[in-house]
Structure 1
Amino acid sequence: MIALLQTIGRWLLEPLRRLLERGFGPRLNPLNHLGALNIYFFWVVLVSGIWLFIFFETSVAGAYASVEYLTHEQWYLGGVMRSLHRYASDAAIITLVLHMLREFAYDRHRGMRWFSWVTGIPLLWLVIPLGITGYWLVWDQLGWYVALTSAELMDALPIFSESMARNFLSDAALSDRFFTLMAFMHLIGLPLFLVFGIWLHVLRINGPRINPPRALMAGSLAAMVVLSFVFPAVSQGQVDMSTVPDSLGLDWYYLLVYPLAKAWSPGWVWGLLVGFSLLLCALPWVAPMRGKSPAHVDLDNCNGCARCADDCPFGAITMQPRSDGQAYEIEAVVDPALCMSCGLCTGACPTATPFRRHSDLVPGIDMPDLEAAALRESILQAAAKLEGERRILVFGCQENAQSRRMKAVVNDAETAILDVICSGHLPPPFVDFILSRDLADGIVVAGCPGGDCQYRFGTEWTSLRMARQRDPHLRKRVDSARLALAWEDRWHGCRDLPDVVAALRATLPAAGQPGEPSAPRQPRRALRHALAAAAYAVFFALVAWLSVWPRFHLIDAGHAMVSLSFSHAGQRVRECRTLTQEELDKLPPNMRKPQDCPRERLPIRVLFAVNDATLFEGTLAPTGLWNDGSANLYRRLEVPAGTQELFIGMSEREGADGFDYSLAQVVDLGPGQHVVVEFDSERGAFEFRRE
């Protein structure tokens, strides 16, 4: 099942990757920088949020007015900042979800990567509330709905003794301290935890890339600025708690589950969220990764150069004091719990050279599953079978599906395909060995599609090594024109790996035939820029569309809303008893009370009906550890508009017939009207409040 889901995910992502690659090229493909783009969008959110907070008033009366001032009076700066704040927040959700989907689809969530995967799940629980509290601060109709529904969800948790949702049914119940608290949570509290969570998320990653390429940053920012002018973010009307808006433009990126609260109970919504989160956390162990042998250090050949530690993508190699008494100061030590068996360390080892003949080919660090000596032997065997004047050896990553497919497609005598664990597993001396010994006329290193290495740095380190910019680098005597790194821009015009092989073969000289001097034709720069601009336009159009559409209807057409909201303490489980003087004398002086009253109270029974049709009936237990508190009721109900007879009754005694308190009243309800049913404990009477 997991493999099927991953296959479906790759089917969806691969066409998108190839399409984006035509406009951005492999190096700038946004799909290769989703994590870094996500962090960049949060930087935009932070900077724009600071500007908005300068003008924001943390009060019930001033919150909406200050946001409206920024949107309309200061539209040229404050309005743009508000729109940037909104759209960068939504773009962050898209990149976050795509990042998770991509890591899962390409099987990058198991093995030692479980830590980054599992620590990424709580980031969702921080990012979503961060966006939700931002909508509260605007305090328009959408902010009121978000606050009310959020409070209803919180009421389902056994944390609060009284209903939070009751605070959002009238202006009198809401204070300025609420906006001060929300501003603190939105600007300081949640962001601090988010920063810590991101640090924890990349803790086990060596050299994490938290900044995308500058071209992507500039393009994304420019697209968001254009969108801010074309489709600015606006409020959805001032809060009026006496009416329910006909419909709201929900930000579906953050409020996706909120409509479920209309159809489901809060408990079911929490069950869905918690269950889905636990399922995501369990994915690394649902289908455990097949065990691979970790890298092995041979101290007789390790000189402590630390190149393997520098190139390890997952921080599995550390340099520690020498343990064998040799003259070198340090040695490489591999942590098997962190090693992904990618082979990049072998590719970085200066002793992994196939030219060694007088001693066994044993590098300072090697991969037991595919040793350097075995790789050299497979090269010699494959080269011996090659025929023709343009012989090519292809090195394909074991994780590269194209390499596996090519073995079934390419069967000519001029081509041989060999496996390496990763492109970075191939040491540059092996390329020199093949070409200088005339074992082949050209070499193709496949790598992962689009340069998106399964082991993070395989394609990047290989490009730098072959370009003689990173040790161990390719020797100058090697003709780089006879080497094709399939993920590089030079071969961008090729559709797949067989095309790269054919393109390289065309550039190789044969007897009496000069090779073509150039690589495959690249897409025109103007066309690439047009495709990139179209990609930005489509992405941010999607951002804007799902930030307000489709609209959500809070209640059905032609209906009003009635909120039952009150607290009341039921009768004690038994009547108070007056103590005799003899009983009082037996008690300590500080405990002598004239009456003995039990703490525990009885539950209350409530019934609400419209035109004699019962819409709610229930028995409410008292709160408190000793069942000595008030019983609380909060419930939202839809009632048809028009003239209706409302009835509310409450009994505070066990087994009593009828009701101790009740109110029946004919009410003319307009469509969208909001009526709150309250109980005044001092007067002992119900009230149908319509503000």
Structure 2
Amino acid sequence: MTDYESLSIGRRIVYAADRLGDRIFSPRYNPFYWLGTICFFLLILITVTGIYLFIFYRTDSPYETVQSITTGQWYIGGIMRSIHRYASDGLILFIIIHMMREFLLGRYLHWRKFSWITGLLILMASIVVGVIGYWMVWDERAQLIATMTSSLLDDIPLFIEPPPISFLSNAAIAKMVFFVLFLMHLGSSFIGISALAAIHISRSARPSVKPPRIIGIVILVSLLLLSLIIPATSGPPADMGRLPVNASIDWFYLFIFPLTSLLPRSAFWITSSAAVLFLFILPFITRSKRPAAAKIIQENCVGCEQCNKDCPYEAIRMIPRTDGRYYLFEAVVMNNRCASCGICVGSCNSRAMEMPYKTMDQIKKEISELINSGRRQNGSPRILGFVCEKGIRPDEFIDANTRTLKEMPDVSVITFPCSGMVNHAMIEYALESGADGVFIAKIIRREGACFGSKW
């Protein structure tokens, strides 16, 4: 069973969205293929604009300094604040879309558990940092956030003094509170989220973190226009002597607070805790058979390090030779990182790498069977195709009974988990066995989306 068939519903949804995006934006600039890199781009925008805002922010007069930035220097300060606000909203939006796409494609299981969990941590950290950012403005909305947050913290038995007591009057809101918020916002952004983002891509040998220039320009111009048309502004200043009236809510960050009003407190904690826990354990409770990891035939390994260099997931490391042979190194597969893509098989010239579910002997047998049973009409050449099963829907293009292309019955097809698994020895064997021609097919949705096409 192919990966597409085992996750047909999710993949159908994603591929339908991809086709729509291809028609609107073209395959090269389809934003659905660049969701992760767009998140990194927005993080950079948030960081740059945040640094500018921090230069002028004063913890002893938070509301006044934010107002001064917004209105006193609207030509740059106001725009910086608005871009900071809308880029932050965009970050949450694109993280959620990115994670939904990965979920529907099944890219949260097995070796991708690590990326799924770190991605969730990035999402949660971003929401916390965003809530603190709203708090630092200290308008009526910030007052509402402070009051409701302190009420939630009161349910956690970690404080000697109930947190709500700290927000009973304006005098109780000390300068130290905003200094702590300042440090938390700054530290969580630069240390927390940045570190998590680096960890998130740490297991990818060639991570893609930069979207195409045109996508970056479109995002920047869109944020600039939005900042000019609907600038981010503050509400009335916070006053602990009265309740906030008509305080607006940013649903990307502050969605949790209306839920506390809709649900009983115990139901809120149970529901929210269960939802978060479910997302974290989802990769561990989902039943899905993991393909066997790559296997090394040690007596064939010459320690050339090519598999180590080619592996997209850094699942192969080189260690000093342990069998006494005169080569310096030998390859070792880290099974928990192996994606079973087979690229290491394609990169190995000494036949030291093998996929247990598709060995070289099995491939040769399949090649011989297809060439011997291949139909030739009107003297047409006998062609054999090596096709990546992730890039197409096999049932749309391939006749399962004859293993030929539906529109080209003279062309026999062998599917691989990745086109990068095809080794030159396979091509040579096909030609020596009677094939008149061989081709390798891979659908590339965007540059950098898959490394198989490079091999």
Counterpart position of 1:309: 308
- Equivalents in 1 of 2:201, 2:154: separation in Å? 35
Counterpart position of 2:39: 38
TM-score relative to the length of structure 1: 0.60
Which structure shows the higher strand fraction? 1
Matches for 1:34-183 after TM superposition, within 5 Å: 34-59=35-60, 62-183=61-182
Deviations 1:80-111 (A, max 9, x none): 11011111111111121122112211111111
Tell me how far 1:412 sits from its aligned partner: 5.0
Matches for 1:396-407 after TM superposition, within 5 Å: 396-399=387-390, 402-407=393-398
- Equivalents in 1 of 2:188, 2:173: separation in Å? 21
- Equivalents in 2 of 1:71, 1:159: separation in Å? 37
- Equivalents in 2 of 1:401, 1:284: separation in Å? 25
- Equivalents in 2 of 1:249, 1:46: separation in Å? 25
Q: Secondary structure, in 3 states, of the residue corresponding to 1:300?
A: helix
> Which amino acid is 1:109 matched to?
Y
Deviations 1:468-499 (A, max 9, x none): xxxxxxxxxxxxxxxxxxxxxxxxxxxxxxxx
Tell me how far 1:415 sits from its aligned partner: 2.8
Q: Secondary structure, in 3 states, of the residue corresponding to 2:34?
A: helix
- Equivalents in 2 of 1:346, 1:26: separation in Å? 29
Paired residues of 2:205 and 2:312 also in contact (CA < 8 A): yes
- Equivalents in 1 of 2:134, 2:9: separation in Å? 35
- Equivalents in 2 of 1:96, 1:391: separation in Å? 48
Counterpart position of 2:11: 10
- Equivalents in 1 of 2:375, 2:309: separation in Å? 37
TM-score relative to the length of structure 2: 0.88
Which structure shows the higher helix fraction? 2
- Equivalents in 2 of 1:365, 1:275: separation in Å? 43
Counterpart position of 1:417: 413
Paired residues of 2:144 and 2:244 also in contact (CA < 8 A): no
Deviations 1:15-44 (A, max 9, x none): 222222234444443222322321221121
- Equivalents in 1 of 2:331, 2:141: separation in Å? 58
Gaps of 5+ in 1: 352-362, 466-691
Count of paired positions:
444
Query: Greater CA deviation, 90-99 or 329-338?
Result: 329-338
Tell me how far 1:405 sits from its aligned partner: 3.4
- CA 299–273 in structure 1, closer or farther in 2 if over 3 Å, else same: same
Paired residues of 1:309 and 1:319 also in contact (CA < 8 A): yes
Paired residues of 1:206 and 1:312 also in contact (CA < 8 A): yes
Tell me how far 1:434 sits from its aligned partner: 5.0
Q: Secondary structure, in 3 states, of the residue corresponding to 1:37?
A: helix
Counterpart position of 1:250: 249
- CA 320–379 in structure 1, closer or farther in 2 if over 3 Å, else same: same
Counterpart position of 1:374: 362
Deviations 1:257-287 (A, max 9, x none): 2101112233332322221111112111212
Paired residues of 1:257 and 1:269 also in contact (CA < 8 A): no
- CA 4–365 in structure 1, closer or farther in 2 if over 3 Å, else same: closer
Identity %: 32
Q: CA RMSD in A?
A: 2.8
> Which amino acid is 2:106 matched to?
D
Tell me how far 1:390 sits from its aligned partner: 6.4
Q: Secondary structure, in 3 states, of the residue corresponding to 1:332?
A: strand
Matches for 1:565-576 after TM superposition, within 5 Å: none
Q: Would you say 1:364 and 2:352 are equivalent positions?
A: yes
Gaps of 5+ in 2: 400-404
- CA 11–292 in structure 1, closer or farther in 2 if over 3 Å, else same: closer
- Equivalents in 1 of 2:300, 2:94: separation in Å? 45
Deviations 1:520-556 (A, max 9, x none): xxxxxxxxxxxxxxxxxxxxxxxxxxxxxxxxxxxxx
> Which amino acid is 2:40 matched to?
I
Counterpart position of 1:21: 22
- Equivalents in 1 of 2:438, 2:172: separation in Å? 78
Counterpart position of 1:570: none
Counterpart position of 1:228: 227
- Equivalents in 1 of 2:302, 2:214: separation in Å? 40
- Equivalents in 2 of 1:263, 1:295: separation in Å? 52
- Equivalents in 2 of 1:93, 1:55: separation in Å? 26
- Equivalents in 2 of 1:252, 1:145: separation in Å? 14
- CA 128–393 in structure 1, closer or farther in 2 if over 3 Å, else same: same
Q: Which has the larger radius of gyration?
A: 1
Matches for 1:188-267 after TM superposition, within 5 Å: 188-189=187-188, 191-267=190-266
- CA 451–427 in structure 1, closer or farther in 2 if over 3 Å, else same: farther
